[in-house]
Amino acid sequence: MRDAYPREELMMSGHLACQGCGGASAMRHVLKAMGPDTIVVQPACCWTIISGQFPYSALKVPILHTAFETSGAALAGVRAALDMKGDTTTQVMAFAGDGGTFDIGLQSLSGAAERNEDVMYFCYDNEAYMNTGVQRSGATPDKAWTTTTPASAPKTGPKKNMIQILAGHKIPYAATANVAFPEDLIAKVRKARDIRGTKFIHILSPCPPGWKISSEQSIEIARLATYTKVFPIYEVFRGEEYHINIEPRDLPVFEYLKLQGRFRHLSQEDVDEIQKRVDYEWRILLAKTMQERFD
Amino acid sequence: MAEEKPIVFAHVDDMPEMVMSIASMLWNKTGSWRYLRPRYEDRVPPCNEACPAGNDIEGFIRLLGEGQPAEAWRLLKEENPMPAVTGRVCFHPCEYGCNRVHFDAPTSIQALERYAADHAAGELDWAWRAPTGKKIAVVGAGPAGLAAAYHSRRLGHDVVVYDALPQAGGLLRIGIPAYRLPRDILDAEIAAIEKMGVVFELGVRVGVDVPFAKLAEFDAVFVAAGVHVNRKLGVEGEDGPGVVAGLGLLAKVALGEKFACGRDVVVIGGGNSAVDAARVARRLGANVTIAYRRTKVEMPAFEEEVRDAEEEGVRLELLVAPTRIRRDGGAVTGVELQRMELGEPDESGRRRPVPVRGSEFDLPCDMVVAAIGEAADLSFLPPEIKQEWGKIVIDAFGLTGRPGVFAGGDIADPQQNVAQALGDGKRAAIAIDRFLHGETIADIGGKIIVGERGCASMAQYAKRGASHAKIIDAQHVAAYEELNLWHFTRAERDRMARAPLAERLAGFAEINLGLTDAQAAHAAERCFHCGVCTMCDNCYVFCPDVSILHKTDGGYGYNIELDYCKGCGICVKECPRAAMSLGEE
Amino acid sequence: MKKVIMGNHAASWAVMLSRVQVISAYPITPQTQIVEELSEMCGDGRLAAKFLKVESEHSAMASVIAASATGVRAFTATSANGLALMHELLHWAAGARLPVVMVNVNRAMAPGWNIWADQSDSLSQRDTGWIQIYAEDNQEVLDSVLMAYRLAEIVRLPVMVCYDAFFLSHTYEPVDIPSPDMVDRYLPPYQPEIFLDPQAPHSFFGLVMPDVYMEMRYKMQQAMERVPAVAAQAADEFAAIFGRRYDMVEAIECDDAETVLVTSSTTTSPARVLIKQLRAEGKKIGVLKLRFFRPFPTDEVRRALKGKKRVVVVDRNISFGKGGIWADELRGALAGRPGMPQVYDFVTGLGGRDITPNLLAEIVADAEARKTPDRLLYWKGVNQ
């Protein structure tokens, strides 16, 4: 038995996620760790649909659906109102996709982070605008296929490093997590809840239709992303103190790429290039874990 | 919010003033989306299939892992009357079948079996069948006979066991030395069987003291007299003092009879008897050489035995065969050996040793031990009992040509080892039980064996005593390729303490000292539990649709909410141990 | 107490007296003094509120929506391009049926950058579902904000209180600032039944399918249709406590008028001066001040203008391809009704250009010289 995994369900069946959706898993784990005294801010993303249509909801906590770019601002508004009502225990969290975090939502997230609003921000990252049909976003990895970066002209350029951006804001806590490692995610949520200020957790959440994988491989592929160092799992305190939480394995990125149709068009040179980049970023991350701290 | 139907608003004034939810999505039965569905499907762990005695290995290790050694012992006793014995002397084919062997190293099954048996506690519930009033005669109190007696007694029958030796145990008593199998351990296992009401007639040889025909008074007979007739070397000088049978040497020492050992002993043979005889001779003070006609790797004896023998100072003379035993005034002075080289393989697949012309040499000694194998004495049997190749002919469940007469163990089974004998005894007990109830074994035989090729399972036959009250009905054995290895981490096998080398030759005290509690806990954790759900919760945790839930009554296992399961298959994929399957509705 | 304050500070006082709990704003000329004064009021404890200094107007409206949905009284203020940036969320606040109140200082839309008075910014937000009120002087600014919360919290639609850049925002006038006790009698604490509450969880403002969306919009229109009755009630209660009366329109000397000048915001003030003059000369002329743009005071306008000969609308705004927006709305209200006057639409004063009594006199004379309005709109002040 996985004793650390909380039993109370705050997400119910009947939701509209695709088979094998990483975002559904992510929400389930996050809510278990957040507990029932939570308000969810939900910008436009897959979860807008997954939570169900009017007049239904698939969650047992309140949801404030909000416009696409407004997560950071809405979080601040709810938090301010709760504080004015004298409620300092109810937690406020955003559950945003990569589009609403990396691209259109970046401004309001940056504003909230700069003001160090006392809120939790979860980005469940399926690496494209999946809800609208798999268009590329700032989170789409280099060389991936999407409908706006077809195989004839795949996405070029690296995935934005949101942790680096938020570390630059010096928020008290920023971390990556992965639906394949639920206990790590839950431990991080619990830890973050006790921290005052802006907390950001970036969760890798595979999308079977968008990544062109079979639904049962969803967790396996997420796991491989971390084990091949493509998506390292680490946390940063105050933008300065780095800890790696999950040791990768000695596996080449090809083991991860080969399972996904969105990378089917890659040549050997492409794979080698990706491997070089992944190795480089890993060395940089290791160096960060050893960098000097302010205090 | 457990509405099961979608909401329909009759009038605009019935609707909420703003866009907000008033019910859950539970009305939306997403189970209609799927075209494949998951199932919990326990499969046979390969160790269970590999065990010739039919132990529920995965089950007993699970109980050890739950901190219940006495329960683990009880589970072993459901299938095997003497886990304290097999936990010491079995050649553990289960460990070769263990899937973990492909990952890092097999689970320490034998050491764990011994640990469980050494922590036996409490009474056994063996009288779960009403007495049938039927009587069974067992010829031979070795492992096959003891197993047949034990299981028959549990099935409600009266049993009488005949054995020519003054003490029960067969080769366990006279063939395996005490430093491998302590006497008190063996005695305790046999005493437990006697306590069940099995009657032992010891020192009684069937065919001599009791005619075989007298056994017709019984409702059924199980012949398991073993192989005790020593094979002769077939060389000049063999007859006379100073040349002893390997088994003879072992038996005398085991039964406490006087035995004058030579000072320089040559043991001919490469099997367990040869190695045991060599090591016993060492303890009696002799310098010992084993002479074997093939190479070390081909010696039939257990690897650990050979290694221990060498550590104890036994010399190995390999690729040699005796041509003549030298005597001087009647006493043995040496053995002439001829060198061999390996030629073409024989029918066993091993390369046939071929004599090298002119390579004879003399090995001085004052005693030669002939340990090249034993044969059965079948003279006491009536002619209707078919014989072939020096053994009784039996089918898979021990039936001979004559109704009511069954056989097993070394006297009938070419696979001569303790676990196989135990399995033979159990199979025969089951077949006898069927026979005594006027049924045949043929119609159920296939259903009660473990996996496709394993031993029979008493749990399957009697529908009792399985681990977690769950009997695995399957034939499908969980293969290594079916496991999800990401959920396991590498861990070294635990090494049990052994008596220091210097102390071993001082006497016959047990050499292997057993696992500590901490080691046993760790060793039990290494088991993958292939094919059997251990409630690791992976399926429950990884399901994105909250469609796998713990049973509300606290029962073992999970419920799949088929109303909502979308058939994504993640649960099956993330099951570490292939205890689920994904198939059509 | 009476104080001589600028229009922006009148707004600040009203927000403080309304016991707003969450303020979120982004600076833009000429709104800045509203929020600066509110910062002081929060800082020295006169106002117990959280002030979110967000990074754009879009975020200001988003956070105000979120705060209001959590069940507290919320406020923001902006102008021109800031209001335009909020456009998506103006729809959201109204569709969410949240009683948010916003002050919009009417300023010209860029390009080019022009910080002076122009009504196009708020009037072009006509269809977002907000109630819109236009104030003539600083007293009306303060009073309108108080009444806005009362109105919003009853009909559950957001309210925008608009007034002219610099003419009111930065101009000092004497204002009677009511006491907190008086305001508390008029404006009870905001205690909604439904809000973001983990004890009673709902999902708000999510996915709506075609078979129910129209009904939600129907309910918004129904709420708008309740406004005249609620506004009248709110005006009665306000007059009873504060001694000042504000209706959806104000008709000044219209009863026997042949010509009626239709004005809004500060344009009403020079119009009052002009008709005093013209009446003294024997002209039958009146002024119809329009306070509410949305809901459009259709009944009041029809009542006031029936039987008049001509209506001259002064529009400090324009809807390109049609004409002045007040005139366009008014024409729609009067269309097809018997005995309704001709409507002359004058677009003038854009980008802060002054509207004086003399300018209005020229406009009236121009209109009276034409038998019929031969054009949809007439420009006043452009050398054509």
Q: pLDDT of C282-299, one tens digit each?
A: 999 999 999 999 999 999
CATH entry, A22-289, from 3.40.50.970, 3.90.1330.10, 3.90.1170.50, 1.10.630.10: 3.40.50.970
Take residue C33 and report the two structure tokens written for it: 């003094």
- For chain C, domains (ranges, CATH) are 2-242 (3.40.50.970), 249-379 (3.40.50.920)
pLDDT band at B475 (very low <50, low <70, confident <90, very high): confident
Average pLDDT of the residues of chain B: 94
- Asked if pLDDT for residue B401 goes beyond 70, the answer is yes
Please judge whether A77 and C74 are an interchain contact, meaning their C-beta atoms are less than 8 angstroms apart. Answer: yes
Q: pLDDT of B122-165, one tens digit each?
A: 888 899 999 999 999 999 999 999 999 999 999 999 999 999 99
Q: pLDDT of B543-570, one tens digit each?
A: 999 999 999 898 889 999 999 999 999 9
**Which residues fall within 8 angstroms of residue B131, CB to CB, at 6 or more apart?**
B156, B157, B158
Task: Classify domain B24-42+534-583 at the CATH class level.
Answer: alpha beta
Q: pLDDT of B260-282, one tens digit each?
A: 999 999 999 999 999 999 999 99
Predicted pLDDT of residue C143: 98
**B11, B12, B19, B22: best mutation site toward chain C, by most C Cβ within 10 Å?**
B19
- Asked if pLDDT for residue B189 goes beyond 50, the answer is yes
Please judge whether C209 and A53 are an interchain contact, meaning their C-beta atoms are less than 8 angstroms apart. Answer: yes
pLDDT band at A1 (very low <50, low <70, confident <90, very high): low
Within 13 Å and on the Cβ side, how many CA atoms surround A25?
36
Q: Distance, in angstroms, between B534 CA and closest chain A CA?
A: 8
Contact of C141 with C14, CB cutoff 8 Å:
yes
CA distance C308 to C255: 9
Total number of residues shown for chain B: 585
The interface predicted TM-score (ipTM) is: 0.96
Coil, helix or strand at residue C331: helix
Q: pLDDT of A37-90, one tens digit each?
A: 999 999 999 999 999 999 999 999 999 999 999 999 999 999 999 999 999 999
Q: Would you call C88 an interface residue with chain A, using a CB distance cutoff of 8 Å?
A: yes
Outline which parts of chain B fall under CATH 3.30.70.20.
24-42+534-583
Task: Provide the residue ranges of all domains of chain A, joining segments of one domain with +.
Answer: 22-289
User: In terms of Cα–Cα distance, which of B148, B155, B146, B157 is closest to B194?
Assistant: B146
Outline which parts of chain B fall under CATH 3.50.50.60.
135-228+376-469, 232-374
- How is domain B135-228+376-469 classified at the CATH fold level? FAD/NAD(P)-binding domain (3.50.50)
CA distance B530 to B58: 8
Q: What DSSP letter does each residue of B421-482 carry, written as one string? A: HHHHHHHHHHHHHHHHTT--SHHHHTTSBSTTTS-B-HHHHHT---GGG-------B--GGG
pLDDT band at B467 (very low <50, low <70, confident <90, very high): low
Taking CB atoms and an 8 Å cutoff, what residues of chain B touch C218?
12
**Which residues fall within 8 angstroms of residue A64, CB to CB, at 6 or more apart?**
A39, A40, A41, A42, A74, A78, C66, C69, C196, C204, C205
Predicted pLDDT of residue B447: 87
Please judge whether A218 and B34 are an interchain contact, meaning their C-beta atoms are less than 8 angstroms apart. Answer: no
- Asked if pLDDT for residue A160 goes beyond 80, the answer is yes
pLDDT band at C90 (very low <50, low <70, confident <90, very high): very high
Task: Classify domain B232-374 at the CATH class level.
Answer: alpha beta
Residue, of B474 and C235, whose pLDDT is higher? C235
Rounded to the nearest 5 degrees, what angle is found at the Cα of B175, between the Cα atoms of B169 and B178? 85
CA distance C335 to B48: 93
Average pLDDT over residues B56-70: 95
pLDDT band at B1 (very low <50, low <70, confident <90, very high): very low
Q: pLDDT of B378-397, one tens digit each?
A: 999 999 999 999 999 999 99
Coil, helix or strand at residue C259: strand
**Amino acid at position B24, single letter:** S
CB-closest option in A13, A55, A215 to B568: A215
- Asked if pLDDT for residue B511 goes beyond 50, the answer is yes
Within 13 Å and on the Cβ side, how many CA atoms surround B361?
9
Taking CB atoms and an 8 Å cutoff, what residues of chain B touch A21?
544
Take residue C141 and report the two structure tokens written for it: 């600014």
- Asked if pLDDT for residue C241 goes beyond 60, the answer is yes
Residue with tokens 């048996």: B117
pLDDT band at C253 (very low <50, low <70, confident <90, very high): very high
Distances (CA, A) of B236 to B240, B248, B334, B339, C242: 11, 20, 12, 17, 137
**Amino acid at position B110, single letter:** Q
Coil, helix or strand at residue C167: coil
Q: pLDDT of A277-287, one tens digit each?
A: 999 999 999 99
* CA of residue A244 relative to chain centroid, distance: 17
Residue with tokens 């969810």: A40
Q: Would you call C207 an interface residue with chain A, using a CB distance cutoff of 8 Å?
A: yes
Q: pLDDT of A185-237, one tens digit each?
A: 999 999 999 999 999 999 999 999 999 999 999 999 999 999 999 999 999 99
Q: Would you call B96 an interface residue with chain A, using a CB distance cutoff of 8 Å?
A: no
Contacting B with CB below 8 Å, chain C residues are 95-97, 156, 194, 202-206, 208, 212, 215-216, 218-219
- Asked if pLDDT for residue B472 goes beyond 80, the answer is no
Q: Would you call B582 an interface residue with chain A, using a CB distance cutoff of 8 Å?
A: yes
Contact of A206 with A24, CB cutoff 8 Å:
no
Predicted pLDDT of residue A218: 98
Average pLDDT over residues C2-22: 98
Q: What is the pTM of this model?
A: 0.92
User: In terms of Cα–Cα distance, which of B322, B324, B357, B356 is closest to B341?
Assistant: B356
Contact of B262 with B239, CB cutoff 8 Å:
no
Q: Would you call B479 an interface residue with chain A, using a CB distance cutoff of 8 Å?
A: no
